[in-house]
Amino acid sequence: MSSPVRNRYDFILIFDVQDGNPNGDPDAGNLPRVDAETGCGLVTDVCLKRKVRNYAMLTKGPTAGYDIFVKEKGVLNRAIGGAYQTLGIDLEKPPAGEKKRNNPGVGQGKEVEKAREQMCKTFFDIRTFGAVMSTGANAGQVRGPVQMTFGRSVDRIVSLEHSITRMAVATEEEAEKQSGDNRTMGRKNTVPYGVYVAHGFVSAHLAAQTKFSEDDLKLLWESLVNMFEHDRSAARGLMATRKLIVFKHATALGTAPAHVLFERVKVERVTADKPPRAFSDYRVTLDGQELLGTPVLSEVLVQT
């Protein structure tokens, strides 16, 4: 694995959705998430990180060091206990130099630090996003070098509700009630069109702690660009990463505030006489220069 990241990065992720639900809210009947005051659509950071994890699992598979800690149907405590097994630490016996173990089955002292390092070594998403691992055998906590904000739509979104029909029923009883008609009605919600913007940050100092490497960073950029290509479903409609603008600082501490860099990028409507229904209805500029038509990933060096 390559050396830890030594430069600070800030980035802007621009993506869109057409006739889909980018991130349903389970507390609101799975309606698209929305800012109640502005009407702008929202996509949580957790949703975006999930897609990065899924892409890493898909492309890296069983590659050593690229397992995923938080995955579907995963048992977190089992993975934490596995770190101690890999290290050869018996959590039922007293730690080295101690007469007894305070809590059998739970790491203590320097054991926790070793387990935390092993977890970072094993799992890509821990090295990247961090994790709380103080449950079960206890591997402490890790603050990840990569953090992301919610995605927020540039304009207000409209949530449409559609009636759908399934030409089948689940049970014989339902079929008898319908005299063989066998229709089941349902509903789904979509956003006709929306462009969303999320912001992210990569800390070189935290990368040194988790050993988040240049190879990991490359996989992160690749994931953000391609994650929607391998996350298709009828519910999500047509989603795509339209632009990933990366600001690379010349130092670990950085040479400019993140908000100043983000303000250099503008995503603006070019059609005011009709509702937006395509990415061509918007223009993306960096320092006044339009970026449409250029490669999805754009890297900007930030110097003093």
Residue 23 amino acid letter: N
Asked whether residue 133 is domain-assigned, the answer is no
Asked whether residue 174 is domain-assigned, the answer is no
Residue-by-residue pLDDT tens, the chain, 304 positions: 689 999 999 999 999 999 999 999 999 999 999 999 999 999 999 999 999 999 999 999 888 999 999 998 899 999 999 999 999 999 999 988 888 899 999 999 999 999 999 999 999 999 999 999 999 999 999 999 999 999 999 999 999 999 888 888 888 888 888 887 888 888 899 999 999 999 999 999 999 999 999 999 999 999 999 999 999 999 999 999 999 999 999 999 999 999 999 999 999 999 889 999 999 999 999 999 998 777 899 999 998 6
Distance CA 57, CA 80 (A): 19
Asked whether residue 86 is domain-assigned, the answer is no
Asked whether residue 75 is domain-assigned, the answer is no
pLDDT digits (tens, 9 = 90+) for 153-184: 999 999 999 988 888 888 888 888 888 788 88
Asked whether residue 85 is domain-assigned, the answer is no
Amino acid 18: pLDDT:
98
Asked whether residue 132 is domain-assigned, the answer is no
Asked whether residue 109 is domain-assigned, the answer is no
**pTM for the whole structure:** 0.93
Amino acid 1: pLDDT:
66
- Count of domains for the chain: 1
pLDDT digits (tens, 9 = 90+) for 65-123: 999 999 988 999 999 999 999 999 999 999 888 888 999 999 999 999 999 999 999 99
Query: Are the C-beta atoms of 102 and 46 separated by less than 8 Å?
Result: no
Q: For residue 298, what are the domain limits? A: 9-60+143-158+188-302
Asked whether residue 117 is domain-assigned, the answer is no
